[in-house]
Amino acid sequence: MGKIAVLFPGQASQYVGMGKTWYERHESVRERFSEASEILGFDLAELMFSGPAARLNQTENTQPALLVLSVAMFEAIRREDGIRPSYLAGHSIGELSALTAAGVIGFADAVRLARIRGEAMAACSEGSGGGMMAVTGITGAEVAAVLMGIDPDGVSVQVANYNSPKQTVLSGSAEGLKLAGERIAKLGADAKVIPLNVSGPFHSRFMAGAAEALEKALQPVQLGAMAVPVVSCLNGQPYVPDDDIKASLVAQVTQPVRWTSVLSTLMEAGVEQWLEVGPKDVLKKLTLHTFPGANAYAYDDEADRERQAQSKLNRPNLVGLCMGAAVCTRNSNFDEAAYERGVIKPYQELQALYESAEKEGRVPTQEEMGRALSLLRVIFETKGTPAEERVQRFKHILAATDTEELFPEYADLILEGA
């Protein structure tokens, strides 16, 4: 199984009705929505499913809505589909989703932070007279060169997002954006300028007040250990233990999102599958613009999710390997009652697990794989399988299915030689 990167979207991915299917299908998603609604003081599900769009698009509502849905979807697919990511990354507010999914920030804290961040950014936008625009067809370096020629200090306009090799977003005052657009239009027919329908100049110096508010809100938050590496969109590099994550989140509010650097870092790290978890498919498209032909999937698209699941069917089936190991292992226990109880019945359960997944055309869930390993362990114990053989069997199964980190208790058994 190749390395997987899970990507969490940012603002502009929201839409009325987002997450409704996930809410209806997964109890865990409903629980997260309920928890978030209590924190926010309003019914998040009603807002997301019924709108109105104008209210959902208010930054103070958009940001917590994106975070809650993204994290809830991640938890559901990791538990039920057995997704085991090698890296996490998020675009702007999506990085807060990534850090929450990685266990660094607790869910309740993350919801509060997303709300505060959104409220503060909305407040900074009021009366700023600023906005944002996308530039396509030319490189980010070319865009930055234009800005240096008209505003070297970034006072009125600056790069907000380096999204792909030929998509850059600018943020600034109306005057600054107008002047930059005029200069860029002169670069040739390939260069196109597209005004964005946003409420303010995000990721610019105009958001200084929002950065201060977020810094204050982050002070009492206790950070946990990072269970999955997270790549920062501030510098495009994975966080390391000495990094000040809080300072990075604060700086991100006024600094550009370096998404092209994030994608390049992940590609260099050997990522083979890119899964966007959250509403729409913005990050999937940016991945394909950067790496044409990449195995990129948007989990908000049912067809994409089915294609991603189909791509896993050719991988070794852990439950099937457990069945094979159970059959191939020699028996040295001739107590018929014990054999019936500790070999035949566990094997029948293994067979049922395998047939259930095969009938539904899916891979076993993490819960099913864990159960299969425990059943195989019972069979080994009943048959009296030598410790050395048990080690080799478990080692082969975990290595063949690339699930060592998913089931550390069995990796520990291998190390202990039992």
Residues in the chain, overall count:
418
Catalytic residue among 70, 125, 203, 204: 203
Catalytic pick from 13, 70, 86, 92?
92
Distance CA 213, CA 203 (A): 15
> Distance between CA 367 and CA 365 in Å, rounded?
5
Q: How far apart are CA 147 and CA 143, in angstroms?
A: 6
Q: Clarify whether 203 is annotated catalytic.
A: yes
User: Look-up: residue for tokens 């966080």?
Assistant: 239
| Cα first-last separation, the chain | 26
Q: Between β-strands 130-136 and 167-173, what pairing exists: parallel, antiparallel or unpaired?
A: antiparallel
Q: Which two tokens stand for residue 211?
A: 């950065």
Is the CB of residue 124 less than 8 Å from the CB of residue 131? no
Exposure letters 76-110 (e unless 16+ CB within 10 A, then b): bbbebbbbbbbbbbbbbbbbbbbbbbbebbebebb
Helices 27-40/107-125 angle, 10° precision = 50
Q: Enumerate the active-site residues.
A: 92, 203
